[in-house]
């Protein structure tokens, strides 16, 4: 059994600016009460406000999932950004991204823009898209549940690049304050941050493939019930960010004690150090 008594999920954003409608935070306690959205300190969350929220809860028995990739592919390529970086660990990559990103609010859009066509695909002018398609080992192991794109693809509604590299800046600033799995040992006390992919939670809740986004109270309650959760308190608006966070917090609670998810067969020492792993991929 894990020591966690609370479970939170963060739907993340790599958008420019200092206030992000695309960030949602949901939390629930052990038991069956439905997760609730955490009210941001302003109208919308900033990434730095999320950082402060995490640090403030570092000593709590809280398992937190954040929906972004915690590293870039390394094992199959021998480098995170071939021809540029000499980073030999994910932590070194986080520091590198932070040092080379001048964006407000832990953003990383400029980091991608300055490397478009070399490492990142932002449009047809950058070349052939398939040349940028590289995945981490956990994404290759997901048996059809891989992320819809890679951290090198920065175009389109499904892209995860901007959010992931902004997330790496967040992780760099959390160093030594909140442990991050699987890069840090799993402690018996305090908070722990893991990488999540909200579609895994949706599949576990019985949401059909291609219909992962829940936009009605009835659909959300049906999915929550499949994870052993009571109905939620109705929201003023049903957008993908809020419902993803609520459902995934309930999924974390339901699966936190599944030991196979903490010990996936593909998580070798080299993968752990350089790429990390998505919690929920076994």
pLDDT in tens, 150-162: 999 998 877 889 9
196-201 mean pLDDT: 93
Mind listing the pLDDT tens digit for each residue in 245-262?
Answer: 999 999 999 999 999 999
The CA angle 133-138-140, to the nearest 5 degrees, is 50
* Pairing assessment for the beta strands 36-37 and 24-29 based on DSSP bridges: antiparallel
What span, in angstroms and rounded, lies between the C-alpha atoms of 92 and 108? 16
What span, in angstroms and rounded, lies between the C-alpha atoms of 50 and 38? 11
Task: Say how many C-beta atoms besides its own lie within 10 A of residue 85's C-beta.
Answer: 17
pLDDT of residue 148: 56
Look at the alpha carbons of 189, 191, 195, 197 in this order and tell me if their dihedral is positive or negative.
Answer: positive
Mind listing the pLDDT tens digit for each residue in 232-246?
Answer: 999 988 898 999 999
Can you give the pTM of this predicted structure?
0.95
pLDDT of residue 157: 74
Cα separation values, 19 from 44, 97, 109, 199, Å: 5, 21, 15, 25
Residues near 257 by Cβ (< 8 Å), separated by ≥ 6? 1, 2
Mind listing the pLDDT tens digit for each residue in 214-234?
Answer: 879 999 999 999 999 999 999
């Amino acid at each position: 059994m894990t020591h966690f008594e609370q479970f939170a999920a963060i739907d993340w954003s790599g958008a420019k600016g200092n206030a992000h409608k695309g960030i949602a935070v949901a939390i629930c306690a052990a038991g069956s009460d439905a997760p609730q959205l955490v009210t941001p300190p302003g109208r919308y969350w900033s990434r730095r406000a999320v950082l402060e929220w995490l640090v403030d809860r570092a000593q709590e028995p809280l398992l937190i999932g954040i929906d972004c990739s915690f590293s870039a592919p390394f094992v199959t390529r021998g480098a995170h950004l071939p021809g540029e970086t000499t980073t030999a660990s994910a932590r070194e990559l986080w520091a590198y991204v932070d040092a080379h990103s001048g964006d407000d609010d832990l953003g990383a859009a400029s980091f991608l823009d300055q490397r478009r066509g070399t490492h990142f695909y932002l449009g047809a002018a950058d070349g052939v898209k398939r040349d940028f398609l590289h995945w981490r080992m956990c994404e290759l192991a997901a048996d059809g549940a891989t992320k819809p794109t890679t951290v090198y693809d920065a175009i389109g509604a499904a892209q995860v690049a901007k959010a992931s590299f902004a997330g790496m800046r967040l992780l760099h600033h959390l160093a030594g304050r909140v442990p991050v799995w699987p890069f840090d040992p799993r402690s018996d006390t305090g908070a722990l941050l893991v990488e999540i992919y909200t579609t895994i939670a949706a599949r576990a809740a019985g949401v059909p493939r291609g219909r992962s986004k829940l936009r009605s109270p009835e659909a959300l309650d049906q999915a929550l019930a499949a994870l052993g959760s009571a109905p939620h308190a109705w929201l003023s608006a049903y957008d993908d960010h809020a419902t993803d966070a609520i459902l995934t917090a309930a999924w974390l609670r339901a699966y936190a004690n599944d030991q196979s998810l903490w010990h996936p067969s593909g998580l070798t020492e080299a993968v752990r150090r350089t790429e990390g792993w998505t919690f929920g991929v076994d």
